[in-house]
Amino acid sequence: MWEAIRRWFDPADLRSVGEAPDYRFSLANERTFLAWLRTGLALVGGGLATAQFLPPLPLTHLREVISVALLLLGGAVAVRSVDHWARTERAIRLGQELPASRFPAILALAVGVGAVLLVVAVLARTIGEG
């Protein structure tokens, strides 16, 4: 694990394996990384906005649960994105099959569950006011 993390910060190590790929593949990999990073930032922003602007909810600490879940998910997406970028770049340089990942499915499921929690929060607030 520490070896993989070290590689994130050592571009010379990445360039020491395989052959230099067509730059378009590296740039596409970088664009994908940046898209994942934007997703992580959006989740962190959503967590902060939920903590700051969502009023207290009738269900005990639901606002805090949603906020913390979004913040943790955003951090996980950011860390996962750099790991996937490095593993993909290495595979491209070595002419190997690109690494498969379950993370997009897990992220989609987590976002779906989060949306359901937000629906519950909105309905609970509406019922509590009415």
Burial (Cβ within 10 Å: 0-12, 13-18, ≥19) of residue 111? middle
**What Cα–Cα distance (Å) separates residue 95 from each residue in 21, 58, 99, 101, 122?**
9, 55, 12, 18, 50
Domain limits of the chain?
A: 22-129
Kindly report, residue by residue over 54-100, the tens digit of the pLDDT: 777 666 787 888 889 899 999 999 999 998 998 899 899 999 999 99
Closest listed residue to residue 86, CA positions, set 21, 19, 15, 22: 15
Alpha helices per DSSP H over 54-102: 62-94
Residue 117 pLDDT grade (very low, low, confident, very high; cuts 50, 70, 90): confident
pLDDT for 123 equals: 81
Residue 110 has pLDDT above 90, yes or no: no
Say if pTM beats, i.e. exceeds, 0.85: no
Share of the chain above pLDDT 90, in %: 41
Mean pLDDT within 101-110: 90
The predicted structure's pLDDT at residue 111: 87
Cα–Cα distance between 17 and 122 in angstroms, integer? 52
pLDDT value of position 39: 94
